[in-house]
Amino acid sequence: EGGGDMAAGGAGDREGWCGAAAGGLALLGLAPGAPSCPHGPALLFVKTSQGKEEGRRFYACSACRDRKDCNFFQWEDEKVSETRLAAREEYNRNHQPFFTHRQNVERYKNFVLLPLSKRRFCQECQQLLLPDEWEKHSDHQFLCDISTAQLKSPSRLLYPLENKKTNAQYLFADRSCQFLLDLIIDLGFRRVLSVGTPRLHEIIQSKASQEEDFRVRSLLLDIDFRYSQFYAEDEFCHYNMFNHYFFGGEAARETCRKFLYQHNGERVIMVADPPFGGLVEALASSFKKLMAMWKEAEEGGHNSQEMPTFWIFPYFFESRILEFFPSFSMMDYQVDYDNHALYKHGKTGRRQSPVRIFTNLTPSMIVLPVEEGYRFCAICQRYVSSGNQHCEICNSCTSKDGRQWKHCVLCKKCVKPSWFHCSNCNCCALRNHTCEKTDAGCFVCGKAGHKRSTCPSLSHA
């Protein structure tokens, strides 16, 4: 029925919400009474131009930015007939995974009882196979002799979903994953709410099952249901972090709530590594709900405290994240990935990753590895990249990307080393930039001959 909706709504009207980042669409958020697609309640959007809301509002899938993955569309003011509502409900039911989480747990129990020679994993269906299912998958590629080690490391068995627009599964490089775990342990945390961090979850669970004195536990919240084949119901919840939706309903929500309850003072930290195309406001709103869950789970109450959090995201989202979480600060640590061509370290020299850790913990407590060149800045009271020089004028270590930035007296701030001050644009930019168009008219007053930065209708202090 989603297809029918698209036809009715006009396929051309929705570009997929990647357009939102470009300023074409604005997210209005989770509205009460929003219709649902197979991924839970849809989000409300509106088309914008020049920062102003324009045109009809509409609902679209929260999780999928690519229409090919979920084409749910509904105008906000659209009347949906009873018949269509019923059809939609049925569609949503039919688009849930074939096996339930509970069934997958049962299957796993049977799977591990099999001798190695009978343990097969279908690569096409991304599914552990029981012998009576081999027949059905006979013309599929499969792996055999699935070892216990492989079962403990599903992020290596499953192929990463690299669909850029929807899932974008970028797995931590071992060095970054180990760094995060060591940091979490050193900070004294005992429970990790792993939101979209299957690889971190898996090293924690794997250590917990192998080392007797390893006390850390993790709960994975992820939209990738393939993981339900490997984890019990108190280790994994099928969850959508764009609308805070637990596919497993109240029971799953309760699992999460229980996990956040800090028995015997076992401290909890949330670590989230969302897809980067993701809408910051949708993510922030879900994280706030998880933080509220943590707060409620506490008997005594934490008063003004916030659940300790690491939000892993590219540095260029810093101002957006701080808008929603003023208590957060960005760490210089560069998070590396295995399967991301741009963001991983090369075999030889180090390629810079733009991905950082945003946290509400005191920056001075986040100790970064000196072997990798990070050093402590006594004035800023935090660890910074080797190239990040303390600027006397800004009185802070100003580099965001690890390179040494330079101070521009005219802009009154530090800028990227490759930038120069352009007197035309009245700000710093790349040398070969195209100056802000003057012929199109000023963004502020609409008159030709000047641009917004020199608009006479604005009084410049």
Query: Quick one: tokens of 270?
Result: 């949330």
Binds Zn ion by CB under 5 A, chosen from 407, 416, 421, 452: 407
The nearest distance, CB 67 to Zn ion, in angstroms, is: 10
Residues engaged in binding ligand SAH (CB under 6 A): 63, 167, 169-172, 196-200, 222-224, 239-242, 273-275
The nearest distance, CB 431 to ligand SAH, in angstroms, is: 35
Nearest to 171 by CA among 370, 359, 395, 337: 337
Return the residues of window 70-99 that contact Zn ion according to CB under 5 A.
70, 72
Which one of Zn ion, ligand SAH, none is in contact with 197 (Cβ closer than 5 to 8 A by kind)?
ligand SAH
Angle at 265 between CA 269 and CA 254, to 5 degrees: 65
Nearest to 364 by CA among 151, 160, 187, 153: 187
Q: How many CB atoms sit inside 10 A of residue 23's CB? A: 11
Report the residue number, 87 or 168, with the smaller CB distance to ligand SAH. 168
Which span sits near Zn ion by CB under 5 A: 92-100, 343-351, 362-370, 373-381? 373-381
Which span sits near Zn ion by CB under 5 A: 263-271, 283-291, 340-348, 394-402? 394-402
Report the residue number, 47 or 382, with the smaller CB distance to Zn ion. 382
Binds Zn ion by CB under 5 A, chosen from 11, 251, 394, 430: 394
Which one of ligand SAH, Zn ion, none is in contact with 61 (Cβ closer than 5 to 8 A by kind)?
Zn ion
The 335-364 contact track toward Zn ion, x by CB under 5 A, reads ------------------------------
Looking at residue 172, what DSSP letter applies?
B
Q: Please report whether residue 377 would count as binding Zn ion according to CB under 5 A.
A: yes
Q: Is 9 exposed, middle or buried (0-12, 13-18, 19+ CB in 10 A)?
A: buried
Backbone φ and ψ for 104, nearest 5 degrees, come out as: -65, -35
Q: Please report whether residue 435 would count as binding Zn ion according to CB under 5 A.
A: yes
The nearest distance, CB 70 to ligand SAH, in angstroms, is: 11
Phi-psi region of 29 (alpha: psi -120 to 50; beta: other; left: phi over 0): left
Which one of ligand SAH, Zn ion, none is in contact with 368 (Cβ closer than 5 to 8 A by kind)?
none
Separation between Cα atoms, residue 319 and residue 192, nearest integer Å: 26
Beta pairing partners, 121: 128, 143
Report the residue number, 14 or 199, with the smaller CB distance to ligand SAH. 199
Which helix (H) or strand (E) segment holds residue 180: the answer is: helix 174-186
Binds Zn ion by CB under 5 A, chosen from 152, 165, 207, 390: 390
Beta pairing partners, 238: 222
Separation between Cα atoms, residue 135 and residue 211, nearest integer Å: 39
Which one of Zn ion, ligand SAH, none is in contact with 391 (Cβ closer than 5 to 8 A by kind)?
Zn ion
The nearest distance, CB 226 to ligand SAH, in angstroms, is: 9
Report the residue number, 193 or 414, with the smaller CB distance to Zn ion. 414
Binds Zn ion by CB under 5 A, chosen from 5, 9, 39, 45: 39
Q: Please report, for residues 112, 239, 295, the alpha-carbon distance to residue 257 in angstroms, rounded to integers and kept in the order given.
A: 30, 13, 10
Binds Zn ion by CB under 5 A, chosen from 219, 330, 368, 414: 414
Which one of Zn ion, ligand SAH, none is in contact with 60 (Cβ closer than 5 to 8 A by kind)?
none
Asked whether 170 and 340 are in contact (CB, 8 A), the reply is yes
The residue written with tokens 């036809």 in the block is: 7
Query: Quick one: tokens of 432?
Result: 């070969």
Report the residue number, 292 or 440, with the smaller CB distance to ligand SAH. 292
Report the residue number, 295 or 344, with the smaller CB distance to ligand SAH. 344
Q: Please report whether residue 391 would count as binding Zn ion according to CB under 5 A.
A: yes
Which helix (H) or strand (E) segment holds residue 271: the answer is: strand 268-272
Helices (H) and strands (E) in the chain, counts: 11, 25
Q: Give helix 174-186 / helix 198-210 axis angle, nearest 10°.
A: 60
Q: Is the torsion defined by CA of 398, 400, 404, 407 positive or negative?
A: negative
Phi-psi region of 346 (alpha: psi -120 to 50; beta: other; left: phi over 0): beta
The nearest distance, CB 357 to ligand SAH, in angstroms, is: 12
The residue written with tokens 């008159």 in the block is: 447
Which one of ligand SAH, Zn ion, none is in contact with 224 (Cβ closer than 5 to 8 A by kind)?
ligand SAH
The nearest distance, CB 38 to Zn ion, in angstroms, is: 5
- How many residues of this chain interact with Zn ion, rule: CB under 5 A? 19
Report the residue number, 289 or 407, with the smaller CB distance to Zn ion. 407
Question: For the chain, what is the radius of gyration of the CA atoms?
Answer: 25
Which one of ligand SAH, Zn ion, none is in contact with 199 (Cβ closer than 5 to 8 A by kind)?
ligand SAH
Closest-CB residue for ligand SAH?
Answer: 196
The residue written with tokens 């924690």 in the block is: 204
The nearest distance, CB 172 to ligand SAH, in angstroms, is: 4
Q: Which residues bind Zn ion (CB under 5 A)?
A: 37, 39, 61, 70, 72, 377, 379-380, 390-391, 393-394, 397, 407, 414, 422, 424-425, 435
